[in-house]
Structures are given as structure tokens and as C-alpha cells.
Amino acid sequence: MKLSIIIPYYNVKQYTDELLAVLDKQMDETVEVILIDDGSTEPYHPSYDWLTLVRLEHAGTSHVRNKGLDMANGDYIAFIDADDLVAKDYIHKLKDKLQKGKDYIELSWKSLTPKGMQYNCRVTNTQKLQNPSVCTRVFKRSFIGDMRFNEQRDAGEDEQFTRFLDLSRGSRDFISSYMYFYRTDVEGSQVKRFKSGLTRTKRIVYHVPDATDPKLVEEIRELDKQHEVFLFCNENHLPELEKYCQVSRPYKTWAHIIKGEPCPMVELIAEAIKTQVVIYISGAPGHDGLSTFLYNFCSQMRDYYDITVLHSFLNYGVVKRLRPMVRVVSRNKKPITCDTLLMMRLGDTVPEEVKYNQMFQIVHCTKGANRTLQRDDNIFVSKVSRDSFGVKGPIIYNIADPSTPNKTLMLVSTTRVGASDKGQQDRKMVEFANRLNTEGIEFLWLYFSENTLKGAPSNMVRIDPVDDVRGYLAHADYLVHLSENEAFCYSITEALQMGVPVITTDLPILKELGFRDGKHGYIIGDDISIIQKIPRFKGFDAVDPDKIIDGWRAVLGDTTPLHDYIPDMHKTVRCINPYKDLQLDRMVNVGETLDLDRERAEYLVSLKLVEEV
């Protein structure tokens, strides 16, 4: 009887070296070992003459095992995971059992190290294996037949494979001494990735004490194609369900999704988020440069990357603006894995729930008196910003949304009135408006600010800040920006890229942006009569959007997004207890209905402040 051993391998050299060394001392001509490297980042190069080595593009364990089954020549098939170990007499004891010709042999197994979950399963004539693993069973090739692993699953494939084989129809043998040893503490193992929710396949537990509804069969049959499904019940009146899930009385386990009635024995695992880029910001009030950056970055880069915005608190207007494009997640310790983490604020600490391959600090400011760089991997929004810190690092300008809303005529400013870092901006704005009035130039000047500009004439109108000023800029004759200090100035670049000329002070950043006085607008001092001479123009070509996108792609890498994000559906809720809503910034009264995004609605329901309508 010939034995074929199939070993799927992926980036676990130190463990596989130990496994192959154990097998080497047991090998003879009746055993073949097929090791399939599933596209490891560093190809494996073992040097054993008896080993058949195959390299594939990364496709997952199911595909690898199926490839092994297609190649195997043995009368019996054994599967060993590359990060586990077998007994020193594994092959010897198996060969004795193979001669009896049973359909499958069950192997006693236990945990290899004291770390991680501990298991100890000794099989006997009456004590059969409860776990569905194929690694703790050796199968007769004819018993497997044409059965193959489901490649739609990237976890839990063992459970479905052994269930579809229907072990009850075959003859069984066993080995009571320990033959297989699991490593339960391997970082990044498939089991850990599965439990953390990082695989496509999820574990779904139905708790239905009395299973009688025939609709359950079709529902679970569909889920079983990609997910691992358990049915916990006291009475199962639908025996067909056993084809599509594990059926038993409730026991202690975990699940990503629980359906049916609550089950205190099942631990609900927060499903991990897998994305390519995470942008972390502790908070932003909205209507500011950081909020503009978030929107512009996400609107321009979402075609190239799956993006998740993680925050401790964001203005609801910012969240509402981002959610149609990208995932927006408030911090709740749900695990997130990504290729790149972008930090938005200098003082923010790295969120511990995010696992990343590379991280960059985006520097949106100049050095100032108290600002320091806490990390070495910085990306600056301008040369002005980088030079103020006196360090080296790449510069990537802000990228504006190129879409063009409708236009009308007005003066617009979006700035922070009363901000000490803007220099004499407030005084300059009032003087500029008064001198326009003196010269008889008619204008309506809308300025977006939390604070009122003291001494402003009546044709300067304060408007509460909004997150998207592009609609106003599109109607504007000019953007007016009279600050004396800016690291980048998002409003200027946003206006210029929309074809709106700018009246501004002589900011150092203008030269870096390629702003040309008289073409893109005017740099003014005390002479305001030039407003009558400013030409209309189209476009702002100094900052090339394609070059900015290329700059970010060089940093973030060339990866393929899944584009699996579906914007959260809103829910309508009714207030049942009055409360101060921090996002709406007002009191909500009993009986009032609100249309909220799903996450926010569920949070308020959990606080018993609202109920779903």
C-alpha cells in the first residue's frame, strides 16, 4: 500500500524545516511527499531527494490540496499542515494500519506547545474524532473518489470536505497514540485569520431550538457554499440539514454571525475589516483643511484602493460626506488589517487595533512653536511644510475633486476668523471689503467661519462652515484668502483647480504651487483697485492631478482593490428618551424621527435613546 502525503506551504519555513526533518528519518519507497508552495513571498527551497516540490500562484489551501490530490499516486492520502508536526513513528504506524484496508484512519492528536489554545484528543474504539480536520485522518484514495475541497471557501474547508465524504458510510480504524501535533500559537496562521474575520469565509451559528421550517434548508444550503455553518437545536425535524451544516445541541464556541435565538454559549467575534489603506484621524470638526483632504483623497484614490477612514470622533457632516465613497469606522477595537496606515495628526498615537505593513505620517502643518515629528516616515503636503521642520521626506500636494458644479457670481472666503496663526487676516479682510465699498464696487462676500468678523460691512455675510464649499466656489467670481501664514492652503488649490481666480496675500506656498500673479489671480498688498483688472481664466495647471495620483500610488503600492464596500443603508428611528445629540449638536425630543446611518442608529438604540421605526 503506497501512502501520499500532501503538505500545503505558505511562508512558514522554520516550522516546515522541523516537520521535514522528522519525516526524513521515516521515509522509504512506499511513501511520496508532495509539498506545494502556495505563492510564498520567499520561495521555499528544501533539499530532500524524496520530496516533490510544486510552486503555484497564491490561491489558497483548498486549491493547493486539490492540486495535491490530482498529483498523488498513493492508495492512501494524508494531509499535513506545514506549521504542524507529526510523531517520530508516524509513517511506521500508519503503514501497519494501511494493510487492513479500512476507508479511513483516525489519529490521536494534541497541542504541540503550551501557548495558545490547548487540546488533547485520544481516540479509541469508542471515542471517535469530533473535529472535522483532514490532518487527523488518513483516507483511502478510493473512499475520497472524485471529492475535492471547495475553492469558494478560504477557511473551514476541512469541515465541509469530511461532511460531504459522509464518514458514517465508511469503515474506520484508529491509532490511540499521539500522531499529530498542532501548533496553536503561530502568528498569522489560517486558523487565527479565520477567527479574526480576515477570511472571506465566516462562521455562522444558527440557534433554532426546534428546527421545522423548510425554508431553513435552502437558506443554509446557499450559505454553506462559502461559509462554515452550525445549527444548534434541541430537535431537528429536517434531516436534510445535516448535508449542509453541522447539527448538534448547543455547546461553547464562537461565531462571526449568530442567527435565530440568542445563545449565551456562543461568543460573538467582531468581524475584522480587511482593507488596503486606513486613514486614521482622532477627530476633526469639519469645514477645515483636514476634512477637505479626507474628502479629496478618498474621492480621487478610491478607484485604486479599498479605503477605510478610522476615527475617534468626526463631525457628522464629514462622515455623511465620506460614507457614499469609503468605509468610515469609529474606534471600537474591531481589528483592521491593511497594507498602509496614514496618520493625519502629528499628536495622534497609532491605533492598536490596526495591523499594517507600512505607515506614514501626513504632515499638514508648518513646524510652529510646539510641533515635533514623532516618526521618520513622513509625507509633507508642501515644501513650505517640510522645510519648516528641516528634514527630508516626500512631498505630495493635496488633490482636489475635479467635478464642476454650477456657477454664479460672488466673493467667497473659507477660513478661521479669530485664528492667531492667520496673522492680520481679520483686519485685512475688513479693510479690503471697506475699500471695495469706497470705490463703489458691488459685491456679496460670503465668508464661512464659526466666528463673526468684527467690523465687517453688511455685504459681508457670515455662514456656518460647511464640509463642501465647492458649490459656492463654483458660483464665485473670486476666492478671497488674506491669511499671512499657510503650510498648503487647501481652499486656494481647490478654487484654482475649479477655474476660480484667487485674491490673496503673498504667501510663500504660492510660488511652490506655481501660482502666477495676473494669470491665476492677484497677490495684493494695499492696492485694491486691481480687482477691476483681474482676468477670467480656466483651469489651474500648476498642480497636475495625474502626477499627484501617481505620487500616492508610488507610496501605497500597486494593489488590486476588492471594491466590496457597499455604503451603509440608513435607518429611521424614533426618539423614546430626550437626549443631546452630539453629532446634530442639538436636543432631540421624544417622538422625533431621525434618518441616521446604520451604525449610528444601532448605537443609539443600544443606549435606549431611540427605537427603530
At 374 the pLDDT is: 82
Query: Closest by alpha carbon to 182, among 138, 122, 117?
Result: 117
At 133 the pLDDT is: 93
| Cα-Cα-Cα-Cα dihedral sign, residues 179, 72, 101, 125 | positive
In angstroms, the CA 202 to CA 567 distance is 21
C-beta neighbour count of 310 within 10 angstroms: 25
Grid cell, residue 598, equals 446604520
- Site of grid cell 452630539: 582
CATH of region 274-389, choose from 3.30.70, 3.40.50, 1.10.3470, 3.30.420: 3.40.50
Quick one: pLDDT band at residue 532, thresholds 50, 70, 90?
low
Quick one: pLDDT band at residue 545, thresholds 50, 70, 90?
confident
Residue 79 has pLDDT above 50, yes or no: yes
Determine the average pLDDT of the residues in 464-470.
89
At 313 the pLDDT is: 82
In angstroms, the CA 321 to CA 519 distance is 33
At 35 the pLDDT is: 98
In angstroms, the CA 156 to CA 190 distance is 10
Residue 397 has pLDDT above 70, yes or no: yes
Task: Assign domain 411-542 to its CATH architecture.
Answer: 3-Layer(aba) Sandwich (3.40)
Single-letter residue type at 21: A
Quick one: pLDDT band at residue 355, thresholds 50, 70, 90?
confident
Q: Alpha helices, DSSP H only, in 498-596?
A: 508-513, 545-556
Grid cell, residue 385, equals 511644510
Grid cell, residue 318, equals 464629514
Give the CA distances from residue 368 to residues 49, 420, 506, 508, in Å, rounded to whole numbers and listed in that order. 66, 12, 19, 15
Query: Closest by alpha carbon to 84, among 132, 16, 26?
Result: 16
Residue 531 has pLDDT above 70, yes or no: no
Backbone angles phi, psi at 427, to 5 degrees: -60, -40
Quick one: pLDDT band at residue 196, thresholds 50, 70, 90?
confident
Angle between helices 90-98 and 13-24 (to 10 degrees): 60
C-beta neighbour count of 512 within 10 angstroms: 18
pTM, two decimal places? 0.56
Counting every residue, how long is the chain? Answer: 613
Mean pLDDT of the residues in the chain:
88
At 533 the pLDDT is: 58
Query: Closest by alpha carbon to 304, among 542, 551, 60, 493?
Result: 551
Grid cell, residue 339, equals 497594507
In angstroms, the CA 276 to CA 340 distance is 6
At 305 the pLDDT is: 95
Q: Give the side-chain half-sphere CA count within 13 A for 174.
A: 14
In angstroms, the CA 138 to CA 166 distance is 14
pLDDT, tens digit, for every residue of 308-335? 999 988 887 788 889 889 999 888 767 8
Query: Closest by alpha carbon to 182, among 110, 90, 283, 247?
Result: 110
Residue 405 has pLDDT above 50, yes or no: no
Task: Assign domain 3-186 to its CATH architecture.
Answer: Alpha-Beta Complex (3.90)
Quick one: pLDDT band at residue 371, thresholds 50, 70, 90?
confident
pLDDT, tens digit, for every residue of 572-601? 889 999 988 776 767 889 998 887 777 778
At 38 the pLDDT is: 94
Residue 151 has pLDDT above 70, yes or no: yes
Residue 406 has pLDDT above 50, yes or no: no
Single-letter residue type at 288: D
Strands, E assignment, 169-306: 172-182, 203-207, 210-211, 228-232, 235-236, 246-248, 253-255, 257-260, 266-268, 273-274, 277-284
Cα 549 to its chain centre, rounded Å, is 20
